[in-house]
Amino acid sequence: MPAALVVGLGHPDRGDDAVGPLVAARIRDEASGVLEVRTSLDPLRLPDLWAGRGLVVVVDAAAGAGPDGTVRVHDASSAPLPVLPASPGSTHGLSLPDVVELSRRTGRLPPRLLVVSVAGSSFVLGEPPSPAVAAAVPAAAAAVLEVVSGG
C-alpha cells in the first residue's frame, strides 16, 4: 500500500483558510521523503487524491469550531465529521463533511481517514491567517505527525 497521504485543504490567500496549506508546507519540510504531502483548494478532489491509500490525514480550517487556533483530531473513518457552518464566502460546492460522507456511501473512503481541524473565523480573500491560527500551525503539524506515526 502506498505511503500515508497528508492533504492540506484550503486557499493559501484567504485568511484562516490558509492553515491547511501552511501545515502541509511544514510537514513537507519536517518529514520529506517519509510522507506524501499534497494541497487542494477543493474537497471534491479528495477522493481521487486518496484512492488506494490506507491512511489519509486532511488538515482544514473549521469555522465555528471553537476559539481561533483550537486544534482537534477527528477520526472520519468510524464516524461522520461534525457539521459546522460554512466559512463566510466559501467557494466549495460541497463541504469536507459532505465529501467524506459521499465517499463513505460510494465505497471510496480510505480505511483510515483522520481530519486535523484548526478553528478559524477570518476567511477574507487577500488577508493572511489570524495570529491565533498562524500560531496553531506547529501544533497542527505535530498532531498530523503523531497520528501518522501511530500515536
What CATH number has the domain bearing residue 117? 3.40.50.1450
Average pLDDT, rounded, for the chain: 89
Across the beta sheet with 112-120, the strand order is 36-40, 5-9, 55-63, 112-120, 71-75
pLDDT in tens, 28-80: 888 766 689 999 999 999 999 999 999 999 999 998 878 999 999 999 998 88
Helix extents (H) in the chain: 19-30, 46-50, 96-105, 131-148
pLDDT at 1 exceeding the cut of 60: no
pLDDT tops 60 at residue 140: yes
Q: How many CB atoms lie within 10 A of CB 135?
A: 12
Q: Could you report the per-residue pLDDT of 71-97, keeping only the tens digit for each?
A: 999 999 988 888 765 555 454 568 899
Q: Can you say how many angstroms the Cα of residue 25 is from the centroid of all Cα atoms in its chain?
A: 13
Query: What are the beta bridge partners of residue 36?
Result: 5
* 44 residue type, one letter: L
Cα–Cα distance measured from residue 65 to residue 119, given in angstroms and rounded to the nearest whole number: 5
pTM of the model: 0.91
User: Which pLDDT score is estimated for 46?
Assistant: 95
Q: Which of 143, 137, 139, 122 is nearest to 13 (CA)?
A: 122
Provide the domain count of the chain: 1
- Note down the domain range covering 62: 5-148
